[in-house]
Structure 1
Amino acid sequence: MAEVRRATRDDAARVYDLIRSSTLRNAALPSEARARLFEPVWGGEEDYYGYVLEAEGEVVGFIGMLFTRREIAGAMRKFCELHSWYVKDEFRSESLMLLLPALSIKGMTLLNYTPSPEVYEISRKFGFAELEQEVLRILPVPTPGALRADLRVETDEAAIGSALTGSQLRIFEDHRGLDCRHFLVRRRGRSGHLYAIVKKMRVTPRQPVGRILYFSDEDRLVDALGWLRLYWSLALGVQCLIVDRAQLRVGARLPFAPTVAREVPSLYRSRELTADDLRVPLYSEPLLVGYALH
């Protein structure tokens, strides 16, 4: 009979072997990347990293849990992101044994940024709500704003870090060194700045896109977007930019930015936070190990 227990750092190699043979979209992750999921990160204090399903000494199932802490609306909150839920075919009837411990966690918001269609359906039955439902596909089409010459972009991380303070500096430091790009955008003759984090990813092998993960000021982003849509597309070598439609109040009015429904929405479950509190997809498992958020 299979048994469920907490996954510790000692299980990293066996979990890697299990997931590598799975049909999960992150199955091809190298062992070095998956090993990061078995280390404390971003303020997580728990000493385990999910649960394994074990039968006769063999790991036959796994659900990953990335524990993090981050500031939301001025208060530090605890999060548990579920990922990499997989069970071998002959043990599928026992899959829920892995999910139930996660559902019993108290005082944390549960997240799943990349659920499969099957995991989505199961999670909805257990009280998960939709998070990101639609994205804007911002095309690199020249608009009148593309002609402006008053914008300056800083990409040197040392210079960016020295210009940031408070929560922006914390976000920068927490995501420095990951597979994403940091930009500080200033407008000549105007004080202040726009700080943004953008990640190049691939929706398909031949469709690279730039995912706008974070922006410090919506008004400044929209003001500069006519120019940035071209600059970022060229700098990253992508076909378009992607951002959660709900993150931009003016999303419906942006030119050449069609709305695209996610095939499978991301999910959350929380007693205290709403979807609008969780729009920014930072501090996430896809970012930590380097694969697409959707």
Structure 2
Amino acid sequence: MAEISAETDRCGIVALHPILPADFPAVGLFLHQSLNARIPAHRWVAMMSPSWQVDGPNHGFMLRDGERIVGVQLAFYSTRDRQAGTVRFCNIAAFCVLPDYRVHSLRLLRAVLAQPGYCFTDLSPSGIVQPLNLRLGFRKLDTTTALIPNMASMLSIGGMRLVTDHASIAGRLAGSDLRIFRDHRSAGAAEHVMLVDVDRYCYVIFRRDRRKNLPFFATLLHVSDPALFRKGRGQLFRHLLLQHGILFTLMELRLVRDRPLLSRLLPGHRPKMFRSADLGPEAIDYLYSELTCVSW
């Protein structure tokens, strides 16, 4: 695909291009060097190809000064079933522009948003990006978050079982839950567990997260049955501590519906935003996004 546009400033001619698979090695190296050095370039490359099948128009956009990459905005595309019908999503992610080229930053975001027919999500907007998103029509989700310490003494109510084997999880799932599992089974940041109570289950996806640069947190991304989760969450918290060495669990109340007694609400909540002409916040989740693909 040909470049989309070019602008000239004191840095030279800065061209805007869609990110295609042939660009992955160079983009991965740029993100490793300029955005997050903890993630090796080859892992950035792997993350740019999502674990689900989708016919996306690109993998985001990049800025080039000559042959040199100076800015990147990744994008993850998906097609989802909602009450309103089939909806196309575009999750914008991993935004980075070198300091001398920040004047061109808006070109990346505008290029993504100029694509018609998508509901757009930004699930990790920086402090600088948030007011810009609001001006461009994005809305904030309610990300009120409770933090709970994971303790070995925690047990589930009623003797529920916790299942971690992928084959066993897949054997219990059906319908959209099974599709979600298959699509995210090999996603780079997604971990899968299931709480089972006789003939009911709660399918949970979580990711390991950092807070204050400490990798001791689990963030819940998907909870299929909040009522059943309430009964069995103690066993999950115990599992996270003993099997993963994760000290704390972070859970947004919009996912779990109620706050555990031993938890505390965080004074500041990491923002998440979306833009859609048709969907409300209840239709937005964290699947098929950078949160399942990119571990930082």
| TM-score of the superposed pair, with normalisation by structure 2 | 0.86
User: What's the CA shift string for 1:44-95, capped at 9, x where partnerless?
Assistant: 2124211121222322222111112223348332111111222222221121
The aligned residue for residue 197 of structure 1 is 205
Distance 2:162 2:63 in 1: 49
The answer as to 2:217 corresponding to 1:185 is: no
Q: 1:185 to 1:10 in 2, by over 3 A?
A: same
Query: Could you tell me which of 141, 149, 170 is aligned with 1:131?
Result: 141
TM-fit CA distance, 1:265: 0.4
Number of aligned positions between the proteins: 283
The answer as to 2:280 corresponding to 1:270 is: no
- Would the aligned equivalents of 2:209 and 2:216 in 1 still touch at CA under 8 Å? yes
The answer as to 2:106 corresponding to 1:96 is: yes
Query: Could you tell me which of 230, 234, 241 is aligned with 1:233?
Result: 241
Distance 1:198 1:87 in 2: 29
- Would the aligned equivalents of 1:140 and 1:233 in 2 still touch at CA under 8 Å? yes
The aligned residue for residue 31 of structure 2 is 19
Distance 1:243 1:258 in 2: 11
Distance 2:185 2:210 in 1: 21
One-letter amino acid of the counterpart of residue 273, structure 2: L
Alignment of 1:54-133 (within 5 A): 54-73=64-83, 75-133=85-143
The aligned residue for residue 20 of structure 2 is 8
**Any unmatched runs of 5+ in structure 1?**
none
- Would the aligned equivalents of 1:141 and 1:256 in 2 still touch at CA under 8 Å? no
The aligned residue for residue 155 of structure 1 is 164
Distance 2:240 2:51 in 1: 29
Distance 2:196 2:72 in 1: 46
- Would the aligned equivalents of 2:51 and 2:183 in 1 still touch at CA under 8 Å? no
| TM-score of the superposed pair, with normalisation by structure 1 | 0.86
User: What's the CA shift string for 1:230-270, capped at 9, x where partnerless?
Assistant: 3333232111111112223323xx20111114454011111
**Any unmatched runs of 5+ in structure 2?**
1-7, 9-13
Q: 1:103 to 1:151 in 2, by over 3 A?
A: same
- Would the aligned equivalents of 1:49 and 1:66 in 2 still touch at CA under 8 Å? yes
Distance 2:209 2:167 in 1: 24
One-letter amino acid of the counterpart of residue 88, structure 1: L
| Superposition RMSD in Å | 2.4
Q: Secondary structure at the match of 1:146?
A: coil
- Would the aligned equivalents of 1:43 and 1:69 in 2 still touch at CA under 8 Å? no
Query: Could you tell me which of 147, 157, 175 is aligned with 1:166?
Result: 175
User: What's the CA shift string for 1:184-210, capped at 9, x where partnerless?
Assistant: 2223xx432222223233224435112
Distance 1:74 1:270 in 2: 12
Distance 1:271 1:126 in 2: 12
The aligned residue for residue 217 of structure 2 is 209
Q: 1:231 to 1:56 in 2, by over 3 A?
A: closer
User: What's the CA shift string for 1:11-46, capped at 9, x where partnerless?
Assistant: 222222322332x3x343222222135436534212
Query: Could you tell me which of 26, 29, 42 is aligned with 1:32?
Result: 42
Q: 1:72 to 1:139 in 2, by over 3 A?
A: farther
Query: Could you tell me which of 265, 272, 280 is aligned with 1:259?
Result: 265
With 51-60 and 166-175 compared, the bigger mean Cα shift is at 51-60
Distance 1:81 1:67 in 2: 6
- Would the aligned equivalents of 2:31 and 2:44 in 1 still touch at CA under 8 Å? no
Distance 2:173 2:156 in 1: 28
Distance 1:197 1:92 in 2: 36
Identity %: 24
